[in-house]
Every structure is written in structure tokens, then in C-alpha cells.
A = this chain, B = another copy of it.
Amino acid sequence: MKKRETARTLDLSTEARIKQAARAVFYRKGFAATRTRDIAEEAGINLALLNYYFRSKGKLFEIIMLETLSDFLANIRGVINDESTSLECKIEQIAAGYIDLIRREPEIPFFLLSEIRSNAGVFFERIPIGKIVKSSVFIRQYREAAANGKIAEPNPLHFIMNFIGMILFPFIASPVLKEIGSLDAEAFDRLMEERKKRIPLWINSLMKPT
């Protein structure tokens, strides 16, 4: 059906190459700023093929967006509803899991936040992230720990802002941080690797009652 004869580096079906290219360009520039011609060039294909395989720029974007969001949430859904692990364990798993995921695709956090921002209503209708988080085992465990005096901050939202912020913010602000720290891509990546282990420690000391 699709050609798959050679063993070249980019030996993908045309459809897959377009999707891969679209993902890269959309991640980098966002929906509004990318032109279909950018995607075609990145994919090394003819512009008309984009519309042949995916009806329109918007349809292609929607596919990329939903796949990305789905991957992003898949990473967390299992962890936060595991009855057999402690809060501390979940924190370690989430930090490590997300940092590993994002190190492979560092543009994802900014991309997702950017596009959710410009279309919030639509996304929260499709993906009820509020329900997912609020009804999670994680939040229940957090509230229990706070009620038992094991955690100082009773509001889980402050916790989420601090914890998820520690994970995502460096990637979101990476151009500025690289400039401030004179970091190349590898040095930045090493810092993120360090944070995998340190964020749980920081979070732990930050949550302790004084």
C-alpha cells in the first residue's frame, strides 16, 4: 500500500512523514505561525500531498494535538490512581516520568499550554482534566496526609503549582535559562536529568510542617 522498499533514515510512508514533520513544526512555531509550506518542506514532500492525506491544516493539527495530549496524560493517569503506592512514591514517579518524556520532546509543555490557551473551551470539553485530577487517588492521599498533619499546605492546588511548575517551568523558559546559564543543549539536558532526583527531595522538604 505505502512504499517501504529502501532502508533510508527516513523510510516512512508519506503519510507518516507528513505527520512527523507537522509535529515538529507545530511544536516549534504553534498553529498560527506555521504555514503548510513549512510542513511540506520539512517532510520533503509536495504541498498538495498534505491536503491529499489530511484534508486541511486544521485537521492535521487536531490529530497532532490529540495524540500529544493523549501521550502526555497517559504518562500520568496510571500513576496517580495507583492505590498500592504512597504519595511520596507517586511524586518520584511523576517527576521521573515527565522529565524523561519531555527531555525527548522539550517543546511539548510550551506547545500544549500555548494551544490550550487559545482554545481552552474546546479542550476541556474533550479532555476533562479537572475531573481526572480532582477524583484521583493522588488528591485523596494528599488530603489525607494534610489532615493527619503530615503536610503543612492543605490546598492541593498550591502543591500542584509548585510541583508541576518545578517539572515544567525549566522547559517552558528554556531559552531564557540557557541564556542566563550560558548552557548549550547538552548542559541544559544534564540539569534536567539532575532535577529528576532532586525535585522529589525539594518537594518533600517544602511540604513538611515546620
Binding site for B on A (CB under 8 A): 29-33, 110, 113-114, 116-118, 120, 124, 129-130, 133-134, 153, 155, 157-158, 160-162, 164-166, 168-170, 172-173, 175-177, 179-183, 191, 194-195, 198, 202, 205-206, 208, 210
Contacts and interface: CB of A to CB of B under 8 A. Distances in A.
B166 A161 contact: yes
A32 B26 CA distance: 13
16 contacts: A31-B33, A110-B113, A113-B173, A130-B182, A157-B177, A157-B183, A157-B191, A158-B194, A158-B195, A161-B170, A168-B169, A169-B169, A172-B172, A205-B206, A205-B208, A205-B210
Contacts of A180: 129-130, 133-134, 157, 160
Nearest to A165: B169
Closest 3 pairs between A and B when the two form their complex, measured CB to CB: A165-B169, A32-B33, A32-B32
Contacts of A182: 130, 134
A169 B165 CA distance: 5
A173 B164 contact: yes
A124 B165 CA distance: 24
A198 B158 contact: yes
Contacts of A198: 153, 158
A11 to B, nearest CB: 32
A66 B116 CA distance: 26
Nearest to A170: B161
B179 A161 contact: no
Contacts of A160: 177, 180
Given A32-B32, A116-B176, A130-B182, 6 more contacts: A31-B33, A129-B179, A130-B179, A130-B180, A134-B182, A205-B208
Contacts of A117: 110, 175
A195 B194 CA distance: 26
A33 to B, nearest CB: 4
Contacts of A157: 177, 180-181, 183, 191
Contacts of A173: 113, 161, 164-165, 168
